[in-house]
Each structure stands twice: as C-alpha cells, then as structure tokens.
Amino acid sequence: MAAPSDIAIDVEGLTKSFDGRVVVKDLSMQVKRGTIFGFLGPNGSGKTTTIRMLCGLLTPDSGHGTCLGFDIITESDKIKRRVGYMTQRFSLYQDLSVRENLEFVARIYGMPDPKKATREMIARLGLKGREEQVAGDLSGGWKQRLALGACTLPNPELLLLDEPTAGVDPKARREFWAEIHALAAEGLTVLVSTHYMDEAERCHEIAYIAYGEILVRGTVEEVIEHSKLTTYTVSGENLVPLQSALDQKLGVDMVAPFGTSLHVSGRDAAKLEAAIKPYRNDKNFKWEHSEPSLEDVFIDLMQKSKDNFQ
C-alpha cells in the first residue's frame, strides 16, 4: 500500500448488524489528517459501532477501508499501536491508582520509560497530587481527563473519542476541548462523537449519522447551508400558545423554544412565509429572519430520516 497520504481514515461501504438488526449501513467516510472530525447522531445511530470498527474492536460484515493507511480488517494490530481509543464508559481500572493505570498503558505500548512518561502526563493533565488516588474515587471530570491522558500517552496519530464529555460539567468540557485543539495543532487527527451542538461547532468538520447512515457531512457552515432550512426567531411574551398554534400549520416543520424565543423553521421557504403570515403583525411578537442553528438542522434531519425509515 502507498505511503499514507493526508487521509487518516478512509472507509467505504461499512456495514454491521447484530442479530439481524442493521446498526451501520453502507457507511463511507474520509477524515483528513490533523483535523477534528465531529461525529453526531442520536442514541443508537451507530456512532459507537463505527468507531469500534475503525479500531478493530468489531469486524464489519462488509465494506473495507484503511485507518492511518492500514487495512481495518487485516491490519488491526498495526492500527491499535497508533490509535488512542477513549471508550464511552470509563474503562480504566477503577481499583488502580492514576499513576498505576497510566504506567500500565505505557508498558503495554512498550514505551521506553513508562515512569517518566507517566510523570509527564500527570503534569500535563494537572493531576499532580492525585497520582496515588484510585481511579474509581475520581469525579466524573477527572476520570475523563485521566481517560484522555491514557489514550494520548502512547503518542497516537489518531484519537477516537466516543462521547468523551457525557456527564461532565461545562468548565471541564471547555478545558477538555482546549486540550483537543492543542493536540490537533500538534498534528493529531481526532474523531469525536458527541450529542452537544456547541461541541459540534468546535469541530473542523462534522458528519451526522442516523439509523446507521451518514445523512450529511461538511463544515458547520456547509451543513447549515445544505439543510435548505428557513428559520425565523420569534421573541415576545406568552409564546406557548403561539408554539402550539404554529406546530399545527402546514409549512412549519419545526418549532423549538430557545430561552425566551422560538425557532420556527420550514424546509420550503414560501410555505413557511405563508404559514407565519397571520402572526407576523401581532405586536406582541418580534419576528426576525435568522440562520437555523445546528440543532435545528439536526432535529430536522432526524425527523426526515425517521420519515424515510418508518
């Protein structure tokens, strides 16, 4: 195989089913080296299964591809050496201390000086003073930092992070993303799955997956543009009756409250305009044509795909 180019992940037609239930269907994707690639989609959409196929933890039923230039089916041993995988559920040893967990990882990857590498990682993670604490006693945020530290410790070329920030407070999340960007700046490729829209917006590129298929991919701007969604933001008093009224209207595909305002969106601009016309002159409401948010786009995608699959 040719020397790995600037593509870190290149897979085509990946399919996987469990007990006859198709979880990932004919999935193809490319991820450029050095980018942060966001993997979005509802629960059970196939994100975890895809990530596991990329690092050799699951064998695809069909399809092929490479990860860091190595075949995902026949060369998973080589991939494992170069990939750091952070599982959705904390999967380090709860009964080992922070230091012991990191040293174990360093030894498995054959690092020349496991103790030194561990000391440096502890300093980088800001876990100094907690080295001897058992991992099970750490709070959610610290556990997540430790898990990230463990999978970046062997200097991987690619990080696969499966919902790394689930259940973590906003401050820890922000610090986590700062770290991810720092790592990407060093040349690391990061594939991260998430539910959070604000996190999606921190990615260089995103893909939205539902029912095992990628529905849309590109930069955040591209995805929003591609949605062809027209959105109005309404603000004012007493929005609840307005919401239920609009919900029934033809041409209004989605009404979602955002704080003290409503996002009213439709796939067909003309129909939407017609639907909201009777309410636009109501003095209680302030209407504003706006960009759909990423969340609007994804909820719309989810509804559309649901229509297709049910």
Contacts of 212 (CB under 8 A, 6+ apart): 22, 23, 24, 25, 27, 45, 46, 49
Q: Considering the rule CB under 8 A, would residue 62 count as an interface residue with other proteins?
A: no
Contact (Cβ atoms closer than 8 angstroms) between residue 232 and residue 276:
yes
Q: Considering the rule CB under 8 A, would residue 55 count as an interface residue with other proteins?
A: yes
Of 14, 69, 70, 80, the residue at the interface with other proteins (CB under 8 A) is 80
Nearest to other proteins of 83, 254 (CB atom): 83
Instruction: Please choose, out of 108-116, 199-207, 214-222, 263-271, the segment that lies near other proteins by the rule CB under 8 A.
Output: 108-116
Instruction: Please choose, out of 74-82, 171-179, 265-273, 300-308, the segment that lies near other proteins by the rule CB under 8 A.
Output: 74-82
Q: Considering the rule CB under 8 A, would residue 73 count as an interface residue with other proteins?
A: no
What residues are paired with 38 via a beta bridge? 192, 206
Of 31, 83, 148, 252, the residue at the interface with other proteins (CB under 8 A) is 83
Write down the number of H helices and E strands in the chain. Answer: 11, 14
- Number of residues binding to other proteins, judged by CB under 8 A: 23
Taking the complex as a whole, the smallest distance from the CB of residue 58 to other proteins amounts, in Å, to: 6
Taking the complex as a whole, the smallest distance from the CB of residue 121 to other proteins amounts, in Å, to: 16
For 185-241, what is the HEC assignment? Answer: HCCCEEEEEECCHHHHCCCCEEEEEECCEEEEEECHHHHHHHCCCEEEEEEECCHHH
Residue of 164, 40, 155, 147 whose CA lies nearest to 102: 147
Of 90, 196, 279, 287, the residue at the interface with other proteins (CB under 8 A) is 90
Q: Considering the rule CB under 8 A, would residue 105 count as an interface residue with other proteins?
A: yes
Measured distance between the N- and C-terminal CA atoms of the chain, rounded to whole angstroms: 42
Instruction: Please choose, out of 75-83, 175-183, 211-219, 255-263, the segment that lies near other proteins by the rule CB under 8 A.
Output: 75-83
Q: Considering the rule CB under 8 A, would residue 77 count as an interface residue with other proteins?
A: yes
Reading the block at residue 70, the tokens are 């190595």
Q: Considering the rule CB under 8 A, would residue 111 count as an interface residue with other proteins?
A: no
Backbone torsions φ then ψ of 286, nearest 5 degrees: -110, 115
User: Tokens 């080296």 appear where?
Assistant: 33
Taking the complex as a whole, the smallest distance from the CB of residue 308 to other proteins amounts, in Å, to: 28
Nearest to other proteins of 107, 289 (CB atom): 107
Q: Considering the rule CB under 8 A, would residue 85 count as an interface residue with other proteins?
A: yes
Contact (Cβ atoms closer than 8 angstroms) between residue 71 and residue 115:
no
Residues 169-188 that bind other proteins (CB under 8 A): none
Q: Cα torsion for 237, 241, 247, 248, to the nearest 10°?
A: -140
* Site residues, other proteins (CB under 8 A): 52, 55-59, 77, 80-81, 83, 85, 87, 89-94, 105, 108-110, 150
